[in-house]
Homo-oligomer: A and B are copies of this chain.
Protein backbone atom coordinates (compact mmCIF):
# COMPACT_ATOMS: atom_id res chain seq x y z
CA UNK A 1 0.00 0.00 0.00
CA UNK A 2 1.31 3.45 -0.93
CA UNK A 3 2.13 5.78 1.94
CA UNK A 4 1.05 9.39 1.73
CA UNK A 5 2.26 12.42 3.63
CA UNK A 6 1.76 16.17 3.38
CA UNK A 7 4.44 18.86 3.33
CA UNK A 8 3.28 22.21 4.74
CA UNK A 9 5.02 25.54 5.08
CA UNK A 10 4.23 28.97 6.56
CA UNK A 11 4.00 31.34 3.61
CA UNK A 12 2.69 34.77 2.66
CA UNK A 13 4.71 36.21 5.54
CA UNK A 14 5.96 39.22 3.64
CA UNK A 15 4.53 42.62 4.58
CA UNK A 16 4.04 45.65 2.35
CA UNK A 17 7.43 46.40 0.75
CA UNK A 18 9.25 43.78 2.80
CA UNK A 19 9.63 40.31 1.29
CA UNK A 20 10.16 37.25 3.46
CA UNK A 21 11.22 33.83 2.26
CA UNK A 22 11.07 32.42 -1.25
CA UNK A 23 7.38 31.64 -1.53
CA UNK A 24 7.52 30.89 -5.25
CA UNK A 25 10.09 28.15 -4.66
CA UNK A 26 8.32 26.72 -1.62
CA UNK A 27 5.02 26.61 -3.50
CA UNK A 28 6.62 24.33 -6.06
CA UNK A 29 7.62 21.92 -3.28
CA UNK A 30 4.92 21.72 -0.62
CA UNK A 31 1.41 20.28 -0.80
CA UNK A 32 -0.19 22.64 1.77
CA UNK A 33 0.45 26.35 2.36
CA UNK A 34 -0.32 28.05 5.69
CA UNK A 35 -0.93 31.63 4.64
CA UNK A 36 -0.53 34.62 6.97
CA UNK A 37 -3.75 36.62 7.37
CA UNK A 38 -2.56 40.17 8.02
CA UNK A 39 -2.05 39.66 11.75
CA UNK A 40 1.60 38.84 12.42
CA UNK A 41 2.42 39.21 8.70
CA UNK A 42 0.84 39.52 5.29
CA UNK A 43 -1.57 42.05 3.84
CA UNK A 44 -4.38 41.77 1.29
CA UNK A 45 -2.00 42.06 -1.69
CA UNK A 46 0.40 39.47 -0.34
CA UNK A 47 -2.48 37.15 0.58
CA UNK A 48 -3.83 37.42 -2.95
CA UNK A 49 -0.44 36.86 -4.54
CA UNK A 50 0.38 33.86 -2.35
CA UNK A 51 -3.07 32.31 -2.76
CA UNK A 52 -2.83 32.76 -6.54
CA UNK A 53 0.54 31.03 -6.85
CA UNK A 54 -0.62 28.26 -4.53
CA UNK A 55 -3.75 27.71 -6.60
CA UNK A 56 -1.72 27.71 -9.83
CA UNK A 57 0.56 25.04 -8.34
CA UNK A 58 -2.27 22.89 -7.03
CA UNK A 59 -1.20 23.56 -3.44
CA UNK A 60 -3.96 23.37 -0.81
CA UNK A 61 -4.27 26.59 1.23
CA UNK A 62 -4.93 27.14 4.93
CA UNK A 63 -5.22 30.20 7.15
CA UNK A 64 -2.28 30.94 9.46
CA UNK A 65 -3.63 33.37 12.06
CA UNK A 66 -1.36 34.92 14.70
CA UNK A 67 -1.26 37.77 17.18
CA UNK A 68 -1.77 41.20 15.62
CA UNK A 69 1.86 42.03 16.36
CA UNK A 70 3.97 42.71 13.32
CA UNK A 71 6.94 44.11 15.26
CA UNK A 72 7.12 40.81 17.15
CA UNK A 73 6.13 38.67 14.12
CA UNK A 74 3.51 36.97 16.27
CA UNK A 75 6.20 35.39 18.41
CA UNK A 76 5.31 37.30 21.60
CA UNK A 77 2.35 36.40 23.78
CA UNK A 78 0.06 39.43 23.77
CA UNK A 79 -2.19 39.23 26.85
CA UNK A 80 -5.73 38.61 25.60
CA UNK A 81 -8.85 36.91 26.94
CA UNK A 82 -10.02 33.79 25.15
CA UNK A 83 -13.00 35.77 23.82
CA UNK A 84 -10.61 38.26 22.28
CA UNK A 85 -8.56 35.45 20.76
CA UNK A 86 -11.72 33.88 19.33
CA UNK A 87 -12.67 37.14 17.60
CA UNK A 88 -9.17 37.95 16.40
CA UNK A 89 -8.72 34.50 14.90
CA UNK A 90 -12.14 34.66 13.26
CA UNK A 91 -11.41 38.08 11.72
CA UNK A 92 -8.13 36.83 10.27
CA UNK A 93 -9.59 33.63 8.83
CA UNK A 94 -12.47 35.60 7.32
CA UNK A 95 -10.11 38.12 5.75
CA UNK A 96 -8.13 35.35 4.05
CA UNK A 97 -11.27 33.55 2.91
CA UNK A 98 -12.63 36.67 1.26
CA UNK A 99 -9.36 37.41 -0.53
CA UNK A 100 -9.25 33.74 -1.56
CA UNK A 101 -12.69 34.19 -3.13
CA UNK A 102 -11.10 36.71 -5.51
CA UNK A 103 -8.57 34.15 -6.81
CA UNK A 104 -10.83 32.03 -6.58
CA UNK A 105 -9.66 29.28 -4.30
CA UNK A 106 -11.08 27.83 -1.11
CA UNK A 107 -9.35 28.00 2.28
CA UNK A 108 -9.41 24.43 3.62
CA UNK A 109 -7.86 24.55 7.05
CA UNK A 110 -6.51 26.69 9.89
CA UNK A 111 -3.12 26.44 11.57
CA UNK A 112 -2.27 28.97 14.28
CA UNK A 113 1.09 30.75 14.19
CA UNK A 114 3.95 31.37 16.57
CA UNK A 115 3.18 32.34 20.15
CA UNK A 116 -0.52 31.74 19.60
CA UNK A 117 0.21 28.21 18.38
CA UNK A 118 2.52 27.58 21.32
CA UNK A 119 -0.11 28.80 23.75
CA UNK A 120 -2.82 26.71 22.06
CA UNK A 121 -0.49 23.73 22.36
CA UNK A 122 -0.60 23.84 26.16
CA UNK A 123 -3.60 26.02 27.14
CA UNK A 124 -6.95 24.31 26.70
CA UNK A 125 -8.92 27.52 26.88
CA UNK A 126 -6.92 29.15 24.10
CA UNK A 127 -7.16 25.97 22.07
CA UNK A 128 -10.93 26.03 22.54
CA UNK A 129 -11.13 29.67 21.43
CA UNK A 130 -9.42 28.79 18.16
CA UNK A 131 -11.56 25.72 17.60
CA UNK A 132 -14.73 27.71 18.27
CA UNK A 133 -13.70 30.29 15.67
CA UNK A 134 -13.21 27.55 13.13
CA UNK A 135 -16.51 25.87 14.01
CA UNK A 136 -18.46 29.14 13.83
CA UNK A 137 -17.12 29.94 10.40
CA UNK A 138 -17.95 26.43 9.23
CA UNK A 139 -17.29 25.87 5.51
CA UNK A 140 -15.73 22.47 6.32
CA UNK A 141 -12.57 24.09 7.66
CA UNK A 142 -10.14 21.63 9.23
CA UNK A 143 -7.51 22.32 11.86
CA UNK A 144 -3.84 21.54 11.45
CA UNK A 145 -2.39 21.12 14.96
CA UNK A 146 1.06 20.34 16.27
CA UNK A 147 1.02 16.63 17.06
CA UNK A 148 0.38 15.83 20.71
CA UNK A 149 -0.91 19.24 21.78
CA UNK A 150 -3.96 20.63 23.59
CA UNK A 151 -5.19 22.09 20.30
CA UNK A 152 -5.18 18.63 18.73
CA UNK A 153 -7.07 17.15 21.69
CA UNK A 154 -9.66 19.94 21.95
CA UNK A 155 -10.31 19.87 18.21
CA UNK A 156 -10.85 16.08 18.24
CA UNK A 157 -13.48 16.46 20.97
CA UNK A 158 -15.54 18.91 18.94
CA UNK A 159 -15.74 16.88 15.77
CA UNK A 160 -13.93 19.42 13.61
CA UNK A 161 -11.58 17.56 11.24
CA UNK A 162 -8.13 17.73 12.79
CA UNK A 163 -4.77 16.76 11.37
CA UNK A 164 -1.39 16.53 13.09
CA UNK A 165 1.90 17.98 12.02
CA UNK A 166 5.47 17.27 12.95
CA UNK A 167 8.50 19.44 12.24
CA UNK A 168 11.36 18.66 9.92
CA UNK A 169 13.66 21.24 11.45
CA UNK A 170 12.73 21.20 15.13
CA UNK A 171 13.89 18.86 17.90
CA UNK A 172 11.42 17.19 20.28
CA UNK A 173 11.23 16.58 24.03
CA UNK A 174 10.10 13.31 25.57
CA UNK A 175 6.79 14.93 26.59
CA UNK A 176 6.01 15.36 22.89
CA UNK A 177 6.56 19.12 22.93
CA UNK A 178 9.03 20.95 20.74
CA UNK A 179 12.31 22.07 22.29
CA UNK A 180 11.85 25.87 22.67
CA UNK A 181 13.55 27.90 19.93
CA UNK A 182 15.99 29.56 22.31
CA UNK A 183 17.40 26.31 23.67
CA UNK A 184 20.45 24.51 22.27
CA UNK A 185 19.63 21.89 19.67
CA UNK A 186 16.13 23.27 19.09
CA UNK A 187 16.62 23.94 15.40
CA UNK A 188 17.99 21.42 12.94
CA UNK A 189 19.77 23.39 10.25
CA UNK A 190 21.30 20.41 8.46
CA UNK A 191 19.06 19.21 5.64
CA UNK A 192 20.51 15.73 5.45
CA UNK A 193 20.12 15.19 9.19
CA UNK A 194 16.55 16.53 9.14
CA UNK A 195 15.61 14.37 6.16
CA UNK A 196 17.11 11.17 7.57
CA UNK A 197 15.32 11.75 10.86
CA UNK A 198 11.99 12.20 9.06
CA UNK A 199 12.37 9.12 6.88
CA UNK A 200 13.15 6.98 9.91
CA UNK A 201 10.16 8.42 11.71
CA UNK A 202 7.83 7.73 8.79
CA UNK A 203 9.17 4.17 8.67
CA UNK A 204 8.95 3.47 12.42
CA UNK A 205 6.42 5.96 13.79
CA UNK A 206 8.99 6.80 16.48
CA UNK A 207 10.46 10.29 16.81
CA UNK A 208 13.86 10.79 18.49
CA UNK A 209 13.91 13.27 21.40
CA UNK A 210 16.68 15.22 23.10
CA UNK A 211 15.99 13.90 26.58
CA UNK A 212 15.04 10.23 26.40
CA UNK A 213 13.69 7.36 24.32
CA UNK A 214 11.99 7.99 20.95
CA UNK A 215 8.27 8.72 21.23
CA UNK A 216 5.25 7.80 19.14
CA UNK A 217 3.67 10.79 17.31
CA UNK A 218 0.70 11.12 14.95
CA UNK A 219 1.71 12.77 11.68
CA UNK A 220 -0.48 13.78 8.78
CA UNK A 221 1.88 16.50 7.69
CA UNK A 222 5.48 17.62 7.93
CA UNK A 223 6.11 21.30 8.50
CA UNK A 224 9.08 22.87 6.76
CA UNK A 225 9.52 26.35 8.18
CA UNK A 226 9.64 28.90 5.39
CA UNK A 227 11.72 31.33 7.39
CA UNK A 228 14.46 29.11 8.76
CA UNK A 229 17.92 29.08 7.22
CA UNK A 230 18.04 26.96 4.07
CA UNK A 231 14.29 26.37 4.10
CA UNK A 232 14.00 25.86 0.36
CA UNK A 233 16.99 23.55 0.26
CA UNK A 234 15.58 21.47 3.10
CA UNK A 235 12.13 21.28 1.54
CA UNK A 236 13.62 20.28 -1.80
CA UNK A 237 15.75 17.51 -0.30
CA UNK A 238 12.93 16.28 1.90
CA UNK A 239 10.54 16.19 -1.04
CA UNK A 240 13.05 14.32 -3.21
CA UNK A 241 13.84 11.79 -0.50
CA UNK A 242 10.17 11.21 0.30
CA UNK A 243 9.30 10.71 -3.36
CA UNK A 244 12.41 8.55 -3.79
CA UNK A 245 11.22 6.37 -0.90
CA UNK A 246 7.94 5.78 -2.67
CA UNK A 247 5.96 8.10 -0.42
CA UNK A 248 3.28 10.19 -2.13
CA UNK A 249 2.92 13.91 -1.28
CA UNK A 250 -0.67 14.97 -0.90
CA UNK A 251 -2.42 17.44 1.32
CA UNK A 252 -4.26 16.04 4.31
CA UNK A 253 -7.03 18.45 3.41
CA UNK A 254 -8.27 16.63 0.36
CA UNK A 255 -7.48 16.65 -3.35
CA UNK A 256 -5.86 19.71 -4.85
CA UNK A 257 -8.01 22.05 -6.96
CA UNK A 258 -7.66 21.22 -10.64
CA UNK A 259 -4.92 23.40 -11.99
CA UNK A 260 -6.97 24.73 -14.86
CA UNK A 261 -9.85 26.20 -12.85
CA UNK A 262 -8.23 28.85 -10.81
CA UNK A 263 -5.82 30.03 -13.48
CA UNK A 264 -8.67 30.68 -15.88
CA UNK A 265 -10.63 32.57 -13.26
CA UNK A 266 -7.75 34.75 -12.10
CA UNK A 267 -8.14 37.96 -14.03
CA UNK A 268 -6.85 40.19 -11.29
Contacts and interface: CB of A to CB of B under 8 A. Distances in A.
Contacts of A44: 84, 87-88, 90-91
Interface string A75-98: 011111001101110111111111
Interface in A60-110: 68-73, 76-80, 83-84, 86-88, 90-99, 101-102, 104
Interface stretch (A2-10, A130-138, A168-176, A201-209): A130-138
Contact of A73 (B16, B20, B97, B136): B16
B16 A71 contact: yes
A17 interface: yes
Interface in A250-268: 268
Specify how many copies of this chain sit in the oligomer.
4
Interface in A1-48: 14-20, 38, 41, 43-45, 47-48
Contact of A18 (B20, B45, B76, B83): B20
Given A93-B98, A98-B97, A78 B88 contact: no
Interface residues of A, number: 49
Contacts of A104: 136
Contacts of A102: 86-87, 90, 132-133, 136
B84 A45 contact: yes
A136 B79 contact: no
Interface string A229-248: 00000000000000000000
A111 to B, nearest CB: 16
Contacts of A45: 83-84, 87
A101 B70 contact: no
Contact of A79 (B73, B77, B94): B77
A103 to B, nearest CB: 9
A20 to B, nearest CB: 6
A138 B101 contact: yes
A252 B67 CA distance: 37
A67 B61 CA distance: 27
A94 B86 contact: no
Most buried by B among A41, A92, A101: A101
B98 A90 contact: yes
13 contacts: A15-B71, A17-B73, A45-B83, A69-B78, A76-B78, A76-B80, A90-B102, A93-B98, A94-B94, A95-B98, A101-B136, A102-B132, A102-B133
